[in-house]
A and B are shown apart, each in its own frame.
Chain A
């Protein structure tokens, strides 16, 4: 069964642990201290937003009908066998045209420090148990990595998805 990162919006305290963990996990050095020493510029691919009292982490939903896949004019954005949508690790290279940024309804795609390639959640931060770094770091259980049936995965994309993604939808 596919596993997805689910967000429990009620539990987020806005502590930003997920962002730090995400940024560090995506460095070569794998530790903040060593990464900074080595001149790396750690960038988080998960975002924490606050509106009034409401706080919440938002990251890529790896949408079923991901608009970023349609928009990528370099052919760099692709879906891996495990469902992960990413612009890294394939043969084609991201060119930083921001077409994906223009169509992501969650605003979940950012750019690298130099502003030359798009960065997004690639789940390339999973430990031996397969759990992503942001989930491991979340102290309140606002982020949960869990198996979802295809059906509920659909429903979930439905929930967040319908709200913002609008016409994206099938097929």
Chain B
């Protein structure tokens, strides 16, 4: 059986490892990626920019990973077409690969605003190692950087530029506050305080109208929708991502908010599976269809897809599509599930500088935010995920005493884990 995997990031790697682990040594594995390098962690690109990490240290797996796993690794080749009836994919150099089962793990690409000057030298997105390298090569000459977008990637990029020594870093946010999709007002304000202390500046309700080149053709400023023009010699666009669905769409596969997959991660094309940022998922809590766009989901989908490619029929449970953990300066933040609901409880703990928000629907915890101390966050996540009755634990949860809740969740007869003695 020949398994071909397109994309060797979170989803692709998890799939390859699972294919080998469950498929044994006889499965033939081939991996293709258009990036020229060994797999690296996209999420650590800000650390690379900041100079906290090297290209070597953001690699995802140890040296010699592919040979050891018995994977033929084709790096630097884009897959340009998929012919499902012939069971073939075509690489840009003209090569063809035949497959028995294919995994499309092509991820997502940044959404760039359709405004004049977006191709100006000095305007970037931060998604690939190449992006980071090019950006870093400009650093010595950059005195003003402008970040467009107050989401996770935008803020991480902004802080990284500041740490790297860019004197002026301004974040232009379309909304009236930061992290509208991840945090409530209180937690967002805590993040803003932390980042302001680190020297970042913020402009709210601001959308770019044009990127303005200077006399040498490189970026000179960003014009905002309200008419203001702000000087900048570097701009980073962080306005979300769009799933890479072209291959599947052009092959006639169904596409919604991402590649459509069933609960076995099968696309509508025979023997073609998909996982990671390129797929559409159904949110566990809201039932809404949305693109995946999270590291953890990409890895777990890669794992499930691989099992299903081997014929093991493992149904992928609908995921939580809000599942974020981040650190801004000295502030840790975890945000999971819904932000609003029937009953919202909030508490600020002065001694540890920790803010907690719990969202309940009936007996059930459907979402939470922790900002400050995030210890035990996984217990909250587990409650959101399983839907176990949690209202009776609200005080403990609000006080951050997650450990007690773990004990409380063991039904009396199970309190002996196993027959010992």
Contacts and interface: CB of A to CB of B under 8 A. Distances in A.
Interface of A: 6-10, 47, 49-51, 54, 56, 58, 65, 67, 69-71, 73-75, 90-93, 95-107, 109-111, 115, 141, 144, 146, 152, 155-156, 159-160, 163-167, 169-171
Q: Which of A65, A74, A75 has the most CB of B within 10 A?
A: A75
A9 B332 CA distance: 32
Interface in B1-48: 10, 14, 18, 22, 41, 43-44, 47
Nearest 4 A-B pairs (CB), nearest first?
A166-B386, A105-B382, A104-B378, A171-B307
Interface in B393-421: 402-404, 406-411, 414-418, 420-421
B317 interface: yes
Interface in B45-75: 47, 53, 57-63
Contacts of B306: 171
Given A91-B62, A107-B403, A156 B378 contact: no
B148 to A, nearest CB: 24
Contact of A91 (B63, B299, B330, B407): B63
Contact of A159 (B10, B53, B324, B417): B417
B379 A164 contact: yes
B224 interface: no
Nearest to B378: A104
Given A99-B325, A146-B420, A171 B303 contact: yes
Contacts of B80: none
Contacts of B406: 49, 58, 106-107, 164
Contact of B60 (A92, A115, A167): A92
Given A8-B417, A106-B378, A97 B43 contact: yes
Contact of A170 (B314, B334, B414): B314
B269 to A, nearest CB: 22
B61 A50 contact: no
Contacts, number: 177
Contacts of B381: 102-103, 105
Q: Which of B14, B375, B382 has the most CB of A within 10 A?
A: B382
6 contacts: A8-B418, A8-B420, A69-B299, A73-B44, A166-B382, A167-B284
A51 B22 CA distance: 40
* Main SS at interface, chain A: mixed
Interface string B316-350: 01010001111100101010100000000000000
A139 to B, nearest CB: 15
Given A98-B327, A101-B377, A163 B334 contact: no
A110 to B, nearest CB: 6
Nearest to B403: A49
B184 interface: no
Given A92-B59, A102-B377, 14 more contacts: A8-B418, A8-B421, A51-B408, A56-B407, A71-B296, A71-B299, A74-B41, A95-B47, A98-B377, A101-B375, A103-B378, A164-B382, A169-B317, A171-B304
A150 to B, nearest CB: 14
Interface residues of B, number: 66
Interface string B285-325: 00000000001100110011011000010100101000111
A106 B296 contact: no
Contacts of B378: 67, 100-107, 109
Nearest to B43: A73
B341 to A, nearest CB: 19
Given A70-B300, A92-B60, A98-B327, A49 B374 contact: no
Contact of A54 (B53, B317, B325, B407): B407
A95 B307 contact: no
A146 B41 CA distance: 37
B385 interface: yes
Counting chain B CB atoms within 10 Å of each CB, the highest count among A10, A69, A90, A97 belongs to A97
A7 B319 CA distance: 30
- Which among B63, B299, B332, B420 has the greatest number of chain A C-beta atoms within 10 A? B420
B214 interface: no
Contacts of B417: 6-9, 156, 159-160
B176 interface: no
Contact of A47 (B59, B296, B403): B403
B218 to A, nearest CB: 33
A113 to B, nearest CB: 13
A99 B335 CA distance: 11
Nearest to A93: B57
A100 B63 CA distance: 24
A64 to B, nearest CB: 12
Given A51-B408, A106-B378, A171-B22, A70 B415 contact: no
